[in-house]
Structure 1
Amino acid sequence: MAQPAPLCYPSPSLIPFELLPAVTQVPTDTENSLTLSRSARLSVAPMMDWTDRHCRYLHRLLSRHVLLYTEMVTAPAVLHGDPDHLLGFDAAEHPVALQLGGSDPAELAAATKIAVARGYDEVNLNVGCPSDRVQSGRFGAVLMQEPALVAACAAAMQEAAGDVEVTVKCRIGVDEQEPREVLPDFLARVSAAGIRRFSIHARKAWLQGLSPKENRDIPPLDYGLALEMVGLFPGLEISVNGGIASLDAAEEFLDQGFHGVMIGRAAYHSPTDILAAADRRIYGAPGPDRDPFDVVEAMIPYIEAQLAAGQRLNRITRHMLGLFAGRPGARQWRRVLSEGAHLPDAGPALVLEARDAVLQAQNAAA
């Protein structure tokens, strides 16, 4: 992995000197923030249409310590939509963070109060999503162009949150911005509003010319710049995000000095590879790594309860398709679930049938 470039301090014109004392002093930790700081050593990124409550429950069975994030929910949706549908989660998911999208401080503060009342451990502000819908709503990555507004939103959210921590997920810049100038200025202004923990997706977002999918792959990664921010702002906790596909890579980033690593698609598509050994390797917890067969067994009572509440099996099992990725029987597992989980009478028996197909394939390969 490439070594970071030499530390470059931003010019005084980018960061007013009166802000620097606020961001170079380590804030006093509450017990909650200490716990979250430890959990944030590894987190599963918020991903639209993926990290819903069923996905998070599965991930929690694989790791007791990793920090889990919801899909992004807009502040207006929280205020005017169905809170049970949008914000419901199982108590087993803790520690769990709600990611909010928006750019109105009053709306974000009101939504944060609701989130805190619901029991979320953290509330995160999205300053990274590049989709057209997000841009038209003046939130997400486009807010990299308005650090003063982000600071105002963050301050309002933190005041509303009380003892619950508010964090920010951002890019290194957008469009024609120069990340080496924009990112430190952004961190200084937003941290001066009271934010101490940031997740940096180490790519620029191109709001014009690239689709959201392309923005996840095409802009080059600049992990070195993100690491420079760790040295420049010793009072902040900075996690790195973007293109990280293994637990080995996560450990390397932590060894370099990042306070945390956020993994997205790899954790979703190969959850066992990323999460089953995380408690031992990232958090130093004793005991064996989680076995995916044990996870399947543990999902059965959850599936039964969700089906009794009116859910369809495929809404749950779609998140389980990668559980045996890279292992003998993975194809059989996916086939049984994909072909049968959408049927009206599909239930736990189908999941056990898929498990048995994996066992047969593994015995045949032995």
Structure 2
Amino acid sequence: MAFQAPPGYQPVYSPAIPYMGPIYGGLREGASIYLQGSVPDKITRFFVNLFCGQSECSDIAVHFNPRFDGWDKVVFNSRRNNTWDAEETIRSMPFDKGETFEIVITCSPHDYQFKVNGEVLYTFKYRLPLAKVCAIEIGGDVVIQSINVIGGGGIGPGCYPEGGRPGFEIGQGGFPGDCGGGFPGDCGGGFPGDCGGGFPGDCGGGFPGDCGGGGYPGYMGGNMGGGFPGSNLPSMAGQPIYNPPIPYSGAIPGGMFPKRTVVIRGMVPKKACRFGINFLVSRSRDTALHVNPRFKDDVVVRNSMIGGRWGQEEREMLGDNPFKEGEYFDMSVRCSGDRFKVFVNGRPLFDFRHRLQNAVNEIDTLEVAGDVQISYIHL
């Protein structure tokens, strides 16, 4: 069972490094690029380039280059007509050797805003038109878990005809070398809880009926951008919910109709105990789907609660448990006519048959609680 991304949501998982691939539809104001990954213990440097054309010789709108060289720094630059512009450098190093990271590059009206692990790092003013950016390149001492662009230009060829061009599609390697690429000014190119909070009985508070009481505190009923051409799924066109507080409760406008997909991207903190995701009917407070990763037991429990009573738990998975302490995850929950299909990091994790057969279209609320950090929720 392969994961088919709906329009407006086209992630890339675990690409080979060096990596170069198109940003379908290009970038525009309001778009964000999310990169999750890790750096090795023996890191020298890595880079992220946003390209303005189909060729490795094309202009680079922004060059992001953390360097661990005894004078740790992060370099920002651009390249025009095969010539590097003036560097902008900061001496603050936001990356830790051997640790995971999340980079968010947001396109504001006048500049790129860089955040690392939720903290603002730098703003780099546009030197080249944002609309020209149509590809991303990553190289150096880095492991990338996922790449995603949200709020891009929608379905369209961008700089590329349909299918891209040979040697430059998503997942293909290659980076500058024949055009004076690599790192400027270096060597002439190239580069050498514990469980506090959340669930009663085990972690203190949380989902009702899970460990004998509790409930959400304060809740009382209350791409690459553009997607795959030809997808027959509803478009991920709505504005994502960024960095929501946990516990979270929010409406699902229009409900969970067949083929609708909800994307939840986040990270499991170290020493996590468990967290939970609920899809509910607000009218009755019935839980159509309860997804509950439990790290002590290394399981992902699924259940429903109808009429105030929990049903039979399901624990079998289609593969290994993808939720790991200290790692990011990208979860997609798709509603079909007879079940939920759940994918994590692009791979199927489980199916859950509907137990509210006559009320699937009434599922209109999403809740998240427990030991988890959420980067965004996208409907």
Q: TM-score band, normalised by the shorter chain?
A: under 0.3
Structure 1 or 2: larger strand share? 2
Higher relative contact order structure (alpha carbons within 8 Å, sequence separation ≥ 6): 2
Q: Could you tell me the TM-score, scaled by structure 1's length? A: 0.25
Q: Could you tell me the TM-score, scaled by structure 2's length? A: 0.25
Structure 1 or 2: larger helix share? 1
Bigger-Rg structure (1/2): 2
